Amino acid sequence: MKKYVLVLLKTGSVTNLGKTATDSLFAGHMTNINRLAENGKLVVAGPFFKNDKYRGIFILNATTIEEGKQLVETDPAIKANLLEAEMLLWYGSAALSETLEIHKRIEKKSH
């Protein structure tokens, strides 16, 4: 077992941005997700189905809430308050960090 930071992504306080600004922030959000994953800091990420309050989750390869905050503060959608991050310390399988490599192998086979 290993310590992680579980991040619940919630709808933020800013909800009145136009489509262009929202699209740009979400493009930056996806770029940031990919960067964190490539750096081994993000082990799980995904959206929830339609839900007005909760938007998605991250499981971060971090051991403190402070470290988790530093990682999510790099996300443009969080910086702009389009998304809000609620964080909890969480224990999970140490094998989670291997899921990205497994995913890449499975994804290659399916294309």
**pLDDT averaged per 10 residues, the chain (length 111):** 98 92 96 95 95 95 98 97 98 89 80 58
pLDDT attached to residue 103: 80
pLDDT attached to residue 50: 92
pLDDT attached to residue 108: 78
pLDDT attached to residue 73: 96
Q: Which CATH number is 53's domain given? A: 3.30.70.1060
Query: pTM of this prediction?
Result: 0.88
Q: How many domains does the chain have?
A: 1
pLDDT attached to residue 97: 85
List, as own/partner pairs, every contact residues 52-57 make where C-beta atoms lie below 8 angstroms and the sequence separation is at least 24, other chains included. Answer: 52/11, 53/10, 53/11, 54/8, 54/9, 54/10, 54/11, 55/9, 55/10, 55/11, 55/83, 56/9, 57/6, 57/7, 57/8, 57/9
Please, what sign has the CA dihedral across residues 105, 23, 43, 45? negative
List the domain range (segments joined by +) for residue 48.
2-110
